[in-house]
Structure 1
Amino acid sequence: MQSKDLLQVAEQFGSPVYVYDAEKIQFQYNRLSKAFSKVSKLRINYAMKALSNVAILQLLRDMGSGLDTVSIQEVMLGLHAGYEPEKIFYTPNGVSLEEIEEVNAMGVQINIDNLSILEQFGTKYPEVPVCIRINPHVMAGGNANISVGHIDSKFGISVHQLPHLVRIVENTKMNIVGIHMHTGSDILDIGVFLYAAEILFDAAKSFKNLEFLDFGSGFKVPYKKDDIETDIEELGKKLSKRFNAFCVEYGKELTLIFEPGKFLVSEAGCFLAKVNVVKQTTSTVFAGIDSGFNHLIRPMFYGSQHHIENISHPKGKERFYSVVGYICETDTFANNRRIAEIKEGDILSFRNAGAYCYSMASNYNSRYKPAEVLWMNGEGHLIRAHETFEDILRNQIPLPQAVETV
């Protein structure tokens, strides 16, 4: 998408607004598929927690993608978007047995990540195909909040508990069809990923009837100019060779599964916001926009950097600005960032806003959530409308008139 396209979206649909480039999503999907073209059976399950708009799910469904879901609500959204149950993979964490049973009744693939639930589920449903999530105890990820494979993580069954795990499987005679791992997001060193893969291969040898190995995802995408990213092509060459060799060793052709979220949609997204006010203080120039961390929390929550461009006047003289929001507490998108001179009414574009941006938005300060637009075939398609006051009130129940309030 070019700046003129983004300005067209802002003018047509108003701000703040998220815009997603369908062509970029498709490019990333095909890039990953091509990198692992030497693997006979490859499956890509989109991690929909990154961006769960139904239109995005349908776009990826039409490319052949499956879904990685983490809640019963995501499973329901996937079914609503037209995915066949067998194309949906359910990997919850810390949920009740009752939720897992409800999802199982929908016919999707169950992935269990703790011994207690594994034993309970296996005892009741030994015939149901189940995947097991292993914690490889490998520290990976660009932030402590997204590093999920280390020894202190709440995710997965410790690889050191493998004997106990095998005993449960033998006692319940449950049907284990897959082994899964996920080390974390923003992985830079493919050597770390390959090291964790060896742990998964070793764990897989304990199960005789596997159909697939799921390597999760967590691939790093660039957030700024000259930023480093996961070398998908190099990983494809090395892991494909090792995976194919393992299949020969295992005596069966298995399916290799990935669960990319950020890799597929992050770079496809832009967040557009209008400048409400330019405020000069003794030491700082603030650009205050018609949004806040209620719409884009990643800079405040993860310390992440999103490239900010003044698309209204991109060739203006650069000045230093602190870009802030309208939320009634510290609400900063960028400190002392070089941006083309900003005037009130200008539209700012935040890049890499496709993943974990709208999906983490809230109504804090009773602000409305923004609209979402899919840019496809040279035009913008509204895929979620701006919220209204009626949306804020929708599930609220006022006190009956007869009740006295203090």
Structure 2
Amino acid sequence: MSTSSSATLGAAVATVLGVLLLLVFLGSAEPAPSCAAALPSAGSGDAGETGQGVQGLSDVQLRLARDGVAIGLQRGMSEKVIVAELAAQATESSFRNLANSTVPESLRYANDGVADDHDSVGPHQMRVSVWGDVGIGTLMNPTYQINWFYDQAEKLGAAAEQMSAPELAQAIERSEPAAYRQHLALAQDLYAMFADLDPASMPRTPAGTPAAGCGPSGSGAPLSGEATVFGQAVIDRASRWIGTPYVWGGGDVHGPTSGGFDCSGLTLYAIYHASGGQIRLPHYTQAQQDHPTAQVVPFADRAPGDLIFFTAPGDTDSHHVGIYYGRDENGHDLLLHAPQTGQTVTIAPLSGWDGERMDVRRYELSPPSLGMEEDTPRLSSASSDQPKSLAVNLSGPAHFRRSI
């Protein structure tokens, strides 16, 4: 073989090997985490001075922490600023969207607990008397409050770069000196947990509008009517799975199966746990609608926590079911549901099913107190006397065909 032939053969072999190595690398590279991914299992974490580490946080708390990171990433915030936001949330509300018993209007919104510190509400405990011009509905929106924190950080400009994360949180929240240092280790652990989130997986927001992060956290939407203990329990049980993938046939009384829920799998899970295990619905929409425990409710009397069944014109059986969530600040009805393949458990406008028959069913137990397996604690925040401070992507759903 000639020298030139050997060189040509060697170059060809090298090219093939290079392509193979590239394919192996691409095949083994893990995709960036997305908002649709399930929340990671909490590790041991660093408990810090308070004794509360990542391991002790619930899914509800982790979702708010994730949105703190996600919105910061969308807005191009530095690690220090995002850690400051997390430390502030941890100190002010323990990552909960808190209503306030001294602000009765705040109780009309889905929340993660009720506190009574002055007139502070939400995850950053914004004072209604200071920041209330935007309205209680906006203040009870966790996404608004997280964006508010980043807005304040931007206003500080170059001065923010001279501060540590706890000092920055203090400058924005104006609470007790060094209050935010106690949760610094926890904030750093949470940042590390979510720092690789892919901003491209998050809801797109038009220029000039607040970043949406990973979308709704499950609290902050208005409640309509008189939400009973049982109805609120149904919402709470289902809301913890917002962002979970739709899987046809997925879900049972224990949670997602095969990685997700379908529409009736989500509702049977929520009703089962809200009833303390006393109501076990079948895994089929029409069978749930006809279940002996189902009370027929006129559409005009719908209340949060009721199930709504959808039947297409000309059909006799319902093909979709969701949980009535209440109304938004503009009076539009909302539905919490598992939509269809390729989507995740979400909150959407009920108007997406205009033209279909909507049947409302209620499964309330008597006495209502049986509707909660876990009591929602009454919480006190770490706010001081100083001022503090759901953006839901409500795009209409498609029409869903029969789901089991």
Q: TM-score, structure 1 length as denominator?
A: 0.24
Larger helix proportion, structure 1 or 2?
Answer: 2
With structure 2 as the length reference, what TM-score do the two structures score?
A: 0.24
Q: Which has the higher strand share?
A: 1
